[in-house]
Amino acid sequence: MPDTHRHIAPSRRALLRGAAGALGLAATAPLWSEMLSGPQLFAQQASPSADATDALVVRPETQKAIDRGLSWLAARQNDDGSFGGSGYSRNVAVVSLAGMAFLSGGHTPGRGEYGQQVSRAVAYVLAASDDSGFICQPEYTSHGPMYDHGFATLFLAECYGMSPDTAIRDKLSQAVRLIVSTQNHEGGWRYQPKASEADISVTICQVMALRAARNAGIYVPNDTIDRCVDYVKRSQNADGGFMYMLTGGPSRFPRSAAGVVALYSAGIYEGDEIKRGLEYLMLHVPTVEEFSRDSHTMYGQYYGVQAMWQAGGEHWQKWYPAVNDVLLKQQQEDGSWMDLICPEYGTAMACIILQMPNNYLPIFQR
């Protein structure tokens, strides 16, 4: 893909470091509970390994695979911004993840080779928002519509400031208020937009949405994050993995990867929870066998690669080449990746995973 098609956003971390240097401030920040809220300048805490040189970049053969995947996704988009024909393919979460796949390549609303596809995805997501702020297409949702809402809120937050659509801020603010109002007494979220049960998987989806929104200058109450952090920490098992619900249960790789990312998203980069979580994840370095063993493979690798990107160093050096090699082997002849959800979902997830070294999106940046 020619470089002229890429509109690369500068690293948010680099911008913050520069701003902090100009002001004579340290380019670090405390946890979320101590951050400034609203559209004020704050320097985010950097992960301990963020200054380490990670030589791994997107290789030419990997870029070719990504280009084929994004081309396939673009061809699957409908005029209304949805993807595919029915079921999950027109699901708001799938549309949002496909949009994130394009954003991860430097394509922004209206700009870049796939700028039009991103704009259509934004329009579809905005149209799915109801008066309460809930983002969902009922006829194309799953048993867990809060996944739709969480991924859609994350996507809008990443697009906010990149798009001329003035409706994004209002819809994003409403979506955030709905997340805040549906947090349950344990500190987490569950499938439906109501404060009842909670599980680690839906909870991390909301945490990332809140972090992205707060990065964009949308107000998020400190108490919401503090309670969520407590919930995630209590979900960790002795082996370093994470249980599905606080009622107990074994650790599994996909939700454990999500649990570690939840802590990173809340500004926790060090400590026993992170150490034990990473040790558990490293027992599941991607292999073809590992991929075939779990029905939630793409979901798990989406969070796994984020966890290792934030950890950096040896964790990243071991993880990314492994997941890269497996995904390249599993790409279909037409450029797509298969998944039990739908190929649009699988392809979007694979492209996001492979493009992690680009470090374009604020939510993924160190």
pTM for this prediction: 0.86
**Of the candidates 311, 301, 284, 285, the residue with the CA atom closest to the CA atom of residue 339:** 301
Q: State the number of CA atoms in the 13 A half-sphere of 218 facing the CB.
A: 26
Q: With the C-alpha atoms ordered 259, 40, 357, 269, is the resulting torsion angle positive or negative?
A: negative
pLDDT for the residue numbered 330: 96
d(CA 235, CA 69): 35
For 167-179, write each residue's pLDDT tens digit.
999 999 999 999 9
Beta bridge partners of 236: 242
Q: With the C-alpha atoms ordered 81, 85, 86, 88, is the resulting torsion angle positive or negative?
A: negative
- What the block records as the tokens of 232 is 């995630």
Q: Which residues contact 314 (CB under 8 A, 6 or more apart)?
A: none
pLDDT for the residue numbered 40: 26
pLDDT for the residue numbered 54: 56
Phi, psi at 199, each rounded to 5°: -140, 160
For 59-102, write each residue's pLDDT tens digit.
999 999 999 999 999 999 999 999 998 789 899 999 999 999 99
Are the CB atoms for 246 and 262 separated by under 8 Å? Answer: no
| Fold observed for domain 60-358 | Glycosyltransferase (1.50.10)
> How many CB atoms are closer than 10 A to CB 142?
15
Residue 312 has pLDDT above 70, yes or no: yes
Taking residues 258-270, report their average pLDDT: 95
- What the block records as the tokens of 170 is 């209002």
pLDDT-derived band of residue 292, with 50, 70 and 90 as boundaries? confident
Taking residues 132-157, report their average pLDDT: 95
pLDDT for the residue numbered 55: 59
pLDDT for the residue numbered 278: 98
Tokens 């208020």 correspond to what residue? 177
pLDDT-derived band of residue 2, with 50, 70 and 90 as boundaries? very low
183-193 burial: b if 16+ Cβ within 10 Å, else e: bbebbbbbbeb
Residue 31 has pLDDT above 70, yes or no: no
d(CA 231, CA 224): 11
Q: For the chain, what are the domain ranges?
A: 60-358
For 228-237, write each residue's pLDDT tens digit.
999 999 999 9
